[in-house]
Amino acid sequence: MSIEKQVDSGRRGLLVATCAAGGVVGLATTGALVSTFQPSERAKAAGAPVEADISDLKPGEMKVFEWRGKPVWILKRTPEMMASLAKTEDKVADPKSEKPYTMDMPEYCDKQSRSRKEHSDVLITVGICSHLGCSPSSKFAAGAQPSLPDDWAGGFLCPCHGSTFDLAGRVYKNKPAPQNLDVPRHMYLSDTKILIGKDEKGEA
């Protein structure tokens, strides 16, 4: 009797262990399947619209968001920054953005500020230079600086080959970059929340 009990006990132990192991494998497999059907953050960033919160963005400051694997700059311009756009009008190569880079400028954007008229102080642009795809650096302070002209009004400088852009993302004349920075389609969900990559007509 004692031998039979030991055998039964051993079998029961083996059966329990086998079931437990199978359960773990089953759960692991289920977890893998579930995660397969859920879009990853990278997949969302690759194509889906991105919601940007600018509630903490102060005049003169810029925030960077990722959309389709590219940096999108949101710059809240000061009154002085806005005034500089008239001064750079005759110095930029394409003041009315008639020669798009990779996307047409949305029709609801003002030609000079390159932003929605109801939020004219907010610039939304893709931070990729139209020359060789480098990402320019912000140079918002006006005045003479290294690699910049003495009458610099503020804007962006591409460190790769020296292309310069004004505070509306318009490229200056006689620079390697042939086109202005892209302005993606976008819409305001509120005064402080912006949807990048989608507007009233649908996704970009």
Note whether residue 71 is domain-resident.
Answer: yes
**Cβ distance 179 to 199 under 8 Å?**
no
Which residues share a beta bridge with 137?
A: 157
The whole domain housing 93 covers: 45-203
Is 51 within a domain? yes
pLDDT tens digits along 104-130? 999 999 999 999 999 999 999 999 999
For residue 41, what pLDDT is reported? Answer: 59
Task: List b or e across 75-93, with b for residues whose CB sees 16 or more CB atoms inside 10 angstroms.
Answer: bbbbeebbebbeebeebbe
Cα–Cα dist 8/99, whole Å: 83
Q: Is residue 81 part of a domain?
A: yes
Report pTM: 0.77
Per-residue pLDDT of the chain (204 residues; tens, 9 = 90+): 444 444 444 444 444 444 444 443 333 333 332 333 333 455 454 579 999 999 999 999 999 999 999 999 999 999 999 999 999 999 999 999 999 999 999 999 999 999 999 999 999 999 999 998 899 999 999 999 999 999 999 999 999 999 999 999 999 999 999 999 999 999 999 999 999 999 998 887
In a domain, 193, yes or no: yes
Instruction: Round to whole Å and give the CA distance between 62 and 131.
Output: 23
Whether residue 3 is contained in a domain is answered as: no
Domain count within the chain: 1
Closest of 91, 168, 164, 94 to residue 129, by C-alpha: 164
Answer whether residue 88 is part of any domain.
yes
Amino acid identity for residue 106 in this structure: P
CATH number for the domain harbouring residue 161: 2.102.10.10
Query: Does residue 11 form part of some domain?
Result: no
What pLDDT, on a 0 to 100 scale, did the predictor assign at position 42?
55
pLDDT of residue 186: 97
Is 59 part of any domain? yes
pLDDT at residue 46, rounded to an integer: 59
